Amino acid sequence: MPHRNGSGSQVRHYSILEYARFRWFKTSLGLCAIAAAAYLWHDPVPHPYGGTWLGYTLGTAGAILIAWLLWYGVRKRRYAAAGNLQGWLSAHVYLGTALVVIVTLHTGFQLAWNIHTLAYVLMLLVVASGFYGVFAYLRVPRAMTANLGDDSIASLVMRIADLDRDMREKAMSLPDTLFSLVDRSIAGTRLGGSARRLLSGRDDACPTAGAARDWPSQASALKGDPAILGKEVFGLLLRKEQLLVRARRALRYQAILDFWLYLHVPLAFMLLAALAAHVASVFIYW
């Protein structure tokens, strides 16, 4: 997405996928090509599997890659380490993708119900969650900016609090039924608080939405000044609801950006354990 920087010159935003002119994409493609060529050339008896010399080679390459990919979690917390983090992330993404090819060839497509296939499946799940993370990081920040603009969640909350005060004062002069709608909206509206609400960006029991929905029918009996006041309060309610929608959407985007890591990281550590068990069992029963 092109945008202007402070000095006014046009700069292009490079995603991590394009880092250094697709250096890591090309590297990974090369790795996959070498592995695939070796796999096709190699003709073991009775069929390809992890225990041939190529199988051991691909397995070793896969294990080293997994260790290196895990190291990214350490690297990203170190500010003074070698290489820039953008490059590391780009390499992490592309080499993680190459890992699928290398490890699949390592298996020789010999899968069963055992620790070896468990390690393979965990590897696939880690990479799949990582793909989702890449997708989220490419899509969500843009949507986040479009949603929040110059606001932040905190500023939205402050603006809603302002509306609440205004609404409360104005609603004081309205009949109890209407006032209670406003009161419930003020006292009962909440943001976040459960994984479901965070990830869906909705609150099905939101009293503000309920108030906005019920208001027209409840306020239809008002006449004269209260009717004008009622319209004003309704306007405030609708503005509040708009702000809530934006705030909840912002929380949802944030949660999406967080959520996949709650899968990616624990699955990666389970993979590490399964890999250890896989390697140990293979060499115990060599």
> Which residues form the interface with other proteins (CB under 8 A)?
43, 45-47, 49-50, 110, 112-116, 118, 153, 157-158, 160-161, 164, 169, 172-176, 179, 183, 186-187, 189-195, 198, 225, 247, 251, 254-255, 258-259, 261-262, 265-270, 272-274, 276-277, 280-286
What does the DSSP 8-state code read for residue 11? Answer: E
- Residue 38, number of CB atoms within 10 A of its CB: 13
* Rounded least distance, CB 158 to other proteins, Å: 8
Q: How far is CA 252 from the centre of its chain?
A: 10
* Rounded least distance, CB 258 to other proteins, Å: 5
Helical spans, DSSP H, in the chain: 19-41, 53-75, 85-107, 115-148, 153-171, 176-188, 195-200, 207-219, 225-284
Question: CA 74 → CA 64, 78, 79, 128, distances in Å?
Answer: 16, 7, 10, 21
Question: CA 269 → CA 60, 121, 214, distances in Å?
Answer: 18, 13, 50
- Kindly tell me which of 145 and 173 has the beta carbon lying closer to other proteins: 173
* Rounded least distance, CB 146 to other proteins, Å: 19
* Rounded least distance, CB 218 to other proteins, Å: 14
User: What tokens does 276 get?
Assistant: 């250890």
* Rounded least distance, CB 24 to other proteins, Å: 25
Long-range contacts of 178-183 (CB under 8 A, 24+ apart): 178/215, 178/218, 178/219, 178/222, 178/230, 178/233, 181/207, 181/210, 181/211, 181/214, 181/215, 181/218, 181/237, 182/211, 182/233, 182/237
Q: Identify the burial level of 278 via C-beta atoms within 10 angstroms of its C-beta, where 0-12 means exposed, 13-18 middle and 19 or more buried.
A: buried
- Kindly tell me which of 18 and 258 has the beta carbon lying closer to other proteins: 258
- Kindly tell me which of 80 and 154 has the beta carbon lying closer to other proteins: 154
- Kindly tell me which of 11 and 276 has the beta carbon lying closer to other proteins: 276
- Kindly tell me which of 93 and 186 has the beta carbon lying closer to other proteins: 186
Residue 113 is inside which H or E element, if any?
Answer: none
- SS3 string, 64-75, reads HHHHHHHHHHHH
- SS3 string, 227-245, reads HHHHHHHHHHHHHHHHHHH
* Rounded least distance, CB 109 to other proteins, Å: 12
- Kindly tell me which of 27 and 180 has the beta carbon lying closer to other proteins: 180
- Residue 100, number of CB atoms within 10 A of its CB: 18
- Kindly tell me which of 61 and 186 has the beta carbon lying closer to other proteins: 186
* Rounded least distance, CB 274 to other proteins, Å: 5
* Rounded least distance, CB 5 to other proteins, Å: 30
- Kindly tell me which of 95 and 255 has the beta carbon lying closer to other proteins: 255
